Amino acid sequence: MHPKIKPAMTEAQTLLCILGLALITLITRAFFFMSEQQWRLPALIERGLQFAPIAALSAVIFPEIFLWEDHFSGLLMNSKIYGGVAGAAFFILKRGQGHAVFGTIVVGMLTYLPLHLILGWN
């Protein structure tokens, strides 16, 4: 168990904090359609947004794989690179058919875990 230390916030403050965080989830996710007002995004932005989903994903993936804390984690002894590449290769070989994303996870983990746990790479 954790040693009993004086909590940094009172119970009421913690709950208030959590309620505020929940409200922030709602406000940010519903930001542009909370009001009933009729307006359209400019056509250029509407067209540009089709590139947002993949950029959002790679913006999470790349730092997770290539950075350790905030340093470049190296290329050769980086088990996440091998895991990521193996997973992506599996997806491409399967041409995305069936449960290819699940296969990506399995193949990626099977590559990553031995390198990470046995060889002790990042």
Partner 1 sequence: MFFLKTNYSHPYFGVGMKDISSAAPGVAAWGMMIGVSMIQSGMSVVDCVAMTLLVFAGSSQLAAIPLMAAGAPLWVIWATAFCVNLRFIVFSAHLRGYMMGWPRWHRLCAAYLTADLSYVQFVKRFEKPATDMQGKQNEQAYLAGSCFLNWSSWMIASLMGIILAHYIPVQWGLSFAGVLALVGVACSLANSSLKIVSCLIGGLVAITSFFLPLKLNILLAIASSVCVCLLIEPYLSPTDASQNKTRHD
Residues of span 40-99 touching partner 1 by CB under 8 A: 40-41, 44-67, 70, 80, 83-84, 87-88, 91-92, 96, 99
Q: The tokens of 26 are what?
A: 């709602």
- Region 2-31 residues binding partner 1, contact defined as CB under 8 A: 2, 5, 7-9, 11, 13-22, 24-31
Q: What is the C-alpha separation between 120 and 114, in angstroms, rounded?
A: 8
With respect to partner 1, which residue has the nearer C-beta, 31 or 76? 31
Angle between helices 52-66 and 79-93 (to 10 degrees): 140
- Closest by CA to 13, choosing from 21, 5, 1, is 21
* Closest separation in Å from C-beta 107 to partner 1: 8
18 vs 77, beta carbon nearer partner 1: 18
Dihedral of alpha carbons 56, 62, 65, 71, sign = negative
**CA 73, CA 63: separation in Å to the nearest integer?**
10
Q: Closer to partner 1 by CB, 40 or 76: give it.
A: 40
Closest to partner 1 by CB, 32 or 76:
32
CB of 77 to partner 1, least distance (A): 15
